[in-house]
Amino acid sequence: MQPIRGFRDLLQNDFKTFSEIKTICETIAKLYGYEGIELPIVESLDVFKRTLGDVSDVVNKEMFTLTDRHGEILALRPEATASVVRALISNKLTQDLPQKFFYQGPMFRYERPQKGRYRQFYQFGIEAFGEKDPYIDAEIILLAHRILEDLGVKGFKFEINTIGDVASRKAYNDALIKYLTPQKNELSQDSQERLLRNPLRILDSKDMQDQKILMNAPKFEGYLNEESKAFFESVCGYLDAFDVTYHVNSRLVRGLDYYTHTVFEFTHEDLGAQSAFLAGGRYDGLVSTMGGPDIPGIGFAMGIDRVMFLSEVGDVNAPVIVIPFSDDCLAYAMDVCETLRDNGVMCEVSFKGKLSKDLKYAEKRQAEYALLIGENEVEASTVTLKFLGSDEGNQTKSVGEILDFLAL
Ligand code: HAM
């Protein structure tokens, strides 16, 4: 039995890293005033179709869809921003702004699996609604940096760009089509298709020939209206004030359709081809596209699977292993364990009937200490502390003394 392609189990050390990353992200999001939201994994296909873009790769090629018994087409969520907007509208929160949410959980995209790219992957994300001012763009970028610092992620690159408001974006889109159409046949197959469906995405192409053609392509800057320019300057001004290092990449456009103004991506070269591990931006038109009022929004999502390759977290304390020597000592050993747990000490009983086997198990669990319990210990209400990582001799102690010792 094997999991299906692109799906995997997370266990042992991976699980520890995974859950600690989630805890750290959540703690920091709360520091900034974000509240948790748990969303359904399945939504009506419409939630994603128009919002992410009918012609985006995510909708066009990568959706996991299913039809329910009444013929409604459902989708496993490929991302959560559209779901959060759906929740904002269906829970009637649009009159009670601002609203700031964090979420985490599995997302599904039918992509070709490779290192750091899975068909079921996990995101931690935040979304803020109702803030028009560029300070919030800068603040969520600070939030992302704080998360990365606490996760011990170093050596990343942070790129930012503006794609302006809807009018600027449309003007640039038209200019790009005008420039590329006469050279259509020289573009890669992928870019030829994108020229019809989603020309901005051609800017992302890694193909050498495409890159050459793009060198003389019109630049976004030339098509931004004054308002969009001023907005971006303000975001960058805040980042300067907080000493955030950033690279303005005028080719950064993102693969989802809902963005306006600020877009950004964090990348790391150790990740290889799938180098983006945290990405997001502003999406001022999304709530109204989905039938709500005209409310600005901004957020990001971090790919937990990718951050697991970069983060230093995950080493939780090893348990104390409590070893009873016989059946008669088992109840007392369990009682000692419960007392340790009452005091927050992680511990396990190991009762394999042979000390060497119990010690082997303790080694596997990377335990530093074992507590040995024979009849003498039961009688005297003590335990014998054995140091597993050093030559120090055994010591007999009361449970209270053990707690003091472990607290040091
Ligand atoms: P996204 O760029 O599509 O944005 O995904 C965000 C992150 O999810 C990526 O940078 C990557 O780390 C991770 N990711 C995406 N696909 C995969 C995959 N197949 N396997 C592993 N990791 C993957 C969004 O999803 C937007 N909703 C972000 C956002 C939130 N924008 C505004 N608010």
Ligand 1: distance of its center to the CA of 264 in Å? 12
To test the ligand 1 pocket, which listed residue (104, 274, 284) has its Cβ within 8 A of the most ligand atoms? Answer: 274
Question: Which residue pairs from 216-220 have beta carbons closer than 8 angstroms and sit at least 24 positions apart in sequence?
Answer: 216/179, 217/176, 217/179, 217/180, 218/172, 218/175, 218/176, 218/179, 219/250, 220/161, 220/162, 220/163, 220/164, 220/172, 220/250
Summarised one tens digit per residue, pLDDT across range 176-224 is 999 999 999 999 998 998 898 889 989 988 899 999 999 999 998 899 9
Summarised one tens digit per residue, pLDDT across range 221-246 is 899 999 999 999 999 999 999 999 99
The pLDDT assigned to 57 comes to 82
Instruction: State if residue 43 touches ligand 1 by the CB under 6 angstroms criterion.
Output: no
Instruction: State if residue 127 touches ligand 1 by the CB under 6 angstroms criterion.
Output: yes
Distance (Å, whole) CA 258 – CA 283: 6
Can you tell me the mean pLDDT for 26-51? 96
Report the percentage of the chain scoring pLDDT > 90.
87
Report the percentage of the chain scoring pLDDT > 70.
100
**Matching residue, tokens 């009022």:** 293
Instruction: State if residue 125 touches ligand 1 by the CB under 6 angstroms criterion.
Output: yes
Which secondary structure element, helix H or strand E, spans residue 329, and what is its range? helix 327-342
- Ligand 1 atom at shortest distance from the alpha carbon of 282: 32
The pLDDT assigned to 333 comes to 97
The model carries a pTM of 0.90
Distance (Å, whole) CA 107 – CA 80: 8
Ligand 1: distance of its center to the CA of 302 in Å? 6
User: What are the phi and psi torsion angles at 95 (to 5°)?
Assistant: -95, 0
User: How confident is residue 52, by pLDDT bands cut at 50, 70 and 90?
Assistant: confident
Kindly tell me if the per-residue pLDDT of 380 is higher than 80: yes
Which of the 8 DSSP states describes residue 207?
Answer: -
User: How confident is residue 56, by pLDDT bands cut at 50, 70 and 90?
Assistant: confident
Summarised one tens digit per residue, pLDDT across range 321-363 is 999 999 999 999 999 999 999 999 999 999 999 999 999 999 9
Distance (Å, whole) CA 199 – CA 163: 13
Ligand 1: distance of its center to the CA of 263 in Å? 13
Can you tell me the mean pLDDT for 396-403? 97
Residues 287, 129 contacting (CB under 8 angstroms): yes
User: What are the phi and psi torsion angles at 364 (to 5°)?
Assistant: -60, -35
* Terminal CA-CA length for the chain: 46
**Average pLDDT of the chain, as a whole number:** 95
Ligand 1: distance of its center to the CA of 113 in Å? 15
Instruction: State if residue 117 touches ligand 1 by the CB under 6 angstroms criterion.
Output: yes
The pLDDT assigned to 315 comes to 65
Name which residue sits closest to atom 7 of ligand 1, judged by CA.
Answer: 303
Pairing, β 157-162 against β 247-248: parallel
The pLDDT assigned to 316 comes to 63
How long a stretch of residues is the chain?
408
